[in-house]
A and B are shown apart, each in its own frame.
Chain A
Amino acid sequence: MGNDTELVTPGEKLGRASEFKAGRGAYVSPDNLTVYASLTGLRHIVSPPPDSPDQRPIVEVTGHKAHGAIPEPGSIVIARVTKVMARMASADIMCLGTKSVRENFTGIIRLQDIRATEIDKVDMHKSFHPGDIVRAIVLSLGDARAYFLSTAKNELGVISAQSAAGVPMVAISWTEMQCPITGQIEHRKVAKVGG
């Protein structure tokens, strides 16, 4: 739509609020008159989805580096379990979706959030061990310390774990993984990977 390559910086006017809706990297001033940029980048105009009642085109700022991703409720994360306690396990979030995080964030998986069924029979030590790589969903921003994570879905849980012998184990069921060298079976909350 014409001036697609215009470079803008924070605070520059993108258009009038009566003509445009603010998308990513843009905001509407409190008096509801003007749309301003809040990031440095290229000014883009996107046409609204055909079924939306508001038919104003959306103006957004894209293309420039945004700040590092931060976890938000609903995002899928890859985390490494650092500490397993009786009622919860703490984990360092390493990836958000497909992107690795620039800074370290701490998450907590509580006992009741490990699996969806029979949550009264879950044993924390039979679900995670320190060093396990888990896929989890962010439940909420949590408390002052950590984000609350959940693995209560088939595709969530341990995706990679090492046995006592120090080799990656193979999943043999929803709750068990086996060491390919010693044949020892360990308990985990195994994630359904692929398929």
Chain B
Amino acid sequence: MAGATPTTYSPSPTTRKTKSLIFRNDDVDWVRTDGRDFHQCRPAFFKIGAVNAAAGSAYAEFGNTKVIVSVFGPRESKKAMLYSDIGRLNCNVSYTTFATPVRGQGSDHKEFSSMLHKALEGAIILETFPKTTVDVFALVLESGGSDLPVVISCASLALADAGIMMYDLVASVSVSCLGKNLVIDPVLEEESYQDGSLMLTCMPSRYEVTQLTITGEWSTPKLNEGMQICLDACAKLATIMRECLKGPDSALEE
């Protein structure tokens, strides 16, 4: 090092995150890693009744994103809770140690837990189980991008499987803003290079949005476009979810 050490600190320009080659150009010439169109979702797979011990459960697989959600209850609220005339919803999202490419701690995800709670509570008819609590435990088996939207959709399916009264199923889809392009249902790599993200959670047949999360910089037309394609994708996702509920797995009782 020649000369005196600098007295002030400024971020060096080289630490700015560098985009990988395919995302570098802001034109439409690149293709997505899995060969999808920008507005094409990954194939969705749902299965209900994956956990025997739970009142209701569902497994979802979107590409490499694999989650399992179990629902317990309604059961007695914890003793420390105050009396309430309506039911409570308790959500918990956790990751397995092997969910991420880098082996993690497998700990609870507080932020996702509260976002899952916010996304679902508007859709559940809480008045039908006063004083009691419904527990929703989501476990991300493999994180392949768009984890939270998959968790939310899967959780609503698990709630339906548990027989919890709901206003509607809840479907959730996210889009990433990469340069000029909007890519729907981003994979992990696309999420790490995104300039902004938008996640929309809605009740498709009621056409009501229960949650909207936006990060990064968005222009109004972009935002509109993003919300439109999300709403459209949610409606299509819901038809897949309904098919799963009506499928041969659904246990019809006499």
Which residue numbers of A lie inside 8 Å of B, CB to CB? 7, 9-13, 25, 27, 29, 36, 38-42, 63-68, 70, 72, 102-106, 141-145
Contact = CB atoms under 8 A, between A and B. Distances in A.
Contacts of A39: 160, 163, 165-166
A40 B165 contact: no
Interface SS majority for chain B: loop
B166 A63 contact: no
B252 A67 contact: no
Contacts of B23: none
A66 B134 CA distance: 13
Contacts of B129: 67, 70
Contacts of A142: 83
B21 interface: no
A143 B81 CA distance: 10
B81 A144 contact: yes
6 contacts: A9-B245, A11-B166, A12-B205, A27-B165, A63-B252, A67-B164
Contact of A36 (B73, B83, B163, B168): B168
B16 interface: no
Contacts of A102: 55, 75
Interface of B: 55-56, 72-77, 79, 81-83, 85, 125, 129-132, 134, 160-169, 203-206, 238, 241-242, 245-246, 250-254
Contacts of B131: 70, 141
A11 B205 contact: yes
B252 A106 contact: no
A25 B165 contact: yes
